[in-house]
Amino acid sequence: MATRDELVERIIPSDFRMISGCEDAQTSADVSNVASFQLPDPAGRAGGACTSALLQILYGDHTDTAKDLSFEQVLNKMRDGLKTGGYSQIPQMTGSRPVELKAPFHIVPPGSTGVRRALLIGINYEGQKGALTGCHNDALNMKEYLMDVHGFKEENIALLLDDGTNYLPTKANIFWAIQSLVRNSRSGDVVFTHFSGHGGRVKDKDGDESDGFDECLVPVNYTQAGMISDDDLYTSLVGPMARGVTITSLMDCCHSGTVLDLPYLYKADGTGSSKMIMPKSFSTEHLQLLVTKFHESMKNKRTAIMKKEFKQFADAMLLPGEGCNGDDVVQLFKNGFQAKYKAQGLYLSYNECAQLLGEWNNEHPNASVTPKGWFMGFHINPSKVRPSFRTYGN
């Protein structure tokens, strides 16, 4: 029987760690002037306390090359800096693996040669109740740091801001950006994600949270689209990320301590602990439930894609006529679908394709299938068959 550690490694294949500005029950804070955190050229702009504290430490660590700070030192220095600034929030780090806290802090692992990608989200909620002032600056300061210190290329950084210039951080756009990040990442790549905005808590409806609440991120259009729950983030980002990818995530928002549902935890609360642990309250049943949700989500997405693609295929390929071989129809669709979705790892069996054809046949009274599989009432459009590549196209 697999141990809890083995189960986690199997279920979460990537090396994921998240730094949060506060515990689940705490709120984060805006700092009115990031100059108090000595950011490079802050120009008097507002910024999030967590992001500003972390950047101050990381810039200082980059400048002082005599000794690299460890993960533990970075988190504890964040706590000390926040406390000095009058903030009571306690930074913490969660991970998919128990990070060696005495090891040098890194975003890019030593010797990494993979692509470096980032998703940076800053939401000020301008014109809405509870508007913030520092979140755009957080994202822009983090972008500058990643490019200047870690060599991230601008074309590999997705920036979502409600500033009227960049992509708007709606719920749909955030999911689109996450899915793009997951789809393009490969083993050996490095990913950094950053959210600066409002976080929240809602009542847990399925009983998988020990505290009775789901932690959430608040998109700019939350009043219309709703919030993004920790379960949503697991099924879209954590679960499907490829094995061998290193991801660091910074969550500068309220109630964000466990918003990615990662099992291992370190709190910079001054208790003297120097080890990431899996809390007793974190159950493997909870993790298994998230995995089930993830697979159900992927199954539903796959089914929707299959049906959409077959409709497009049938509209393009099948014309009223005397008839054709049903096997030819199935093979054409199967080949075309798998050529189109091979990079995403989507494959179809012959029987699944035949079932789609049968469902389409039931919806068209002029079509029928003989016992020998001859498809009557429609024929294959010859102008849509590519001689050198048996697939379909519009």
CA distance 367 to 103: 67
The whole-angstrom distance between residue 25's C-alpha and the CA centroid of its chain comes to 23
Copy the structure tokens of residue 236.
Answer: 């879209």
What three-state secondary structure class fits 289?
helix
- Residue 20 makes CB contacts below 8 A (sequence gap 6+) with 50, 91, 92, 93, 94, 250, 251, 256, 257, 258, 259
User: How many Cα atoms occupy the beta-carbon half-sphere of 83 within 13 Å?
Assistant: 11
- Maximum alpha-carbon separation in the chain: 82
Identify the active-site residue in 254, 324, 353, 379. 254
Q: Note whether 186 and 113 are within 8 A (CB).
A: no
How many of the other CB atoms lie within 10 Å of CB of 147? 16
Copy the structure tokens of residue 57.
Answer: 């430490």
CA distance 368 to 378: 9
254 as an active site residue: the answer is yes
How many of the other CB atoms lie within 10 Å of CB of 140? 18
What three-state secondary structure class fits 124?
coil
The whole-angstrom distance between residue 235's C-alpha and the CA centroid of its chain comes to 8
Identify the active-site residue in 50, 136, 194, 198. 198
Active-site amino acid positions = 198, 254
